[in-house]
Structure 1
């Protein structure tokens, strides 16, 4: 009789404690990004965006962001899209000298899949078509719902892959966004958005 009771109790405890049968979800990963404009601390969500977070962390862990920089800013007055305006700073490996540090493109994780909307301070991947994201990323300022799945910013409607957020250093993000951005560019769509003095990303490390 005691054996039966113990077995029943073990079964109940197994139902009450999911960790007894399944591994816990990955915890958020803290990352520190040091730039020549200041320090930005981030929290990444591998539980919600496993492919995108793992890609970014591989760039971090393998030192592939050496030579990276913030080079583009979008704000009121520089955005030519009046129907779906955004406010972001964009960075990554944007020089030909560092192209060899880029990894293969990753599958696209939409905000509908991850549940991470493009609210203030969210970090997300830049891309062309879905499934083309590599090293380039951006950080949002304010609510940018047009960047979510179904948003109007991109004609394909798939939005962008958000995978974390800023936990400290939004003052640095705002300062970068406010920097002069009239550097010459052959691309008409980004005129007025290219920083005259790109902000160097000195290091990106796990905290």
Structure 2
């Protein structure tokens, strides 16, 4: 049977969480928060290890790249140096081309300009076998002996020294070129104008 409502009667207290709106949930336990923190810490450490490993690998690649770049630079420098050196100097022709050259041993004929030293002379003949003029000058000759030593010409030492002339096509001239000292001449080299192509001939 329902009791009549007494306005002065106090309601029975109800335990929290039984349908009263606005009741706050119970606070999380400390153990749950610790588990979450521990999980985040492990994930952070693992992420840091992955980042360090990635940076190390990147650094290794950079080092290798640097070495590769250095090797490439060295190769490029070597190639550039080879290009700067250019082709090897043209070997002297053996008495051919526009200038025909012959050489033979000759007796030294002392001139008044020669001192008391010993001299060795070679008689040369130059023939212009081309279509342009050829300049002849004693200074355009060198004598190389059998030991490989190159001797420059001693001007005016021999009375039979070759003259300084310009040979027209078909002309020729003979005379001696003389080096200081006693030696066995092996070949004579002639260069037209000092900058032209050298011509070499063995001494007979």
The two structures have a TM-score, normalised by structure 2, of: 0.33
Structure number with the bigger relative contact order (C-alpha 8 A, sep ≥ 6) is 1
The two structures have a TM-score, normalised by structure 1, of: 0.32
Larger fraction in helix: 2
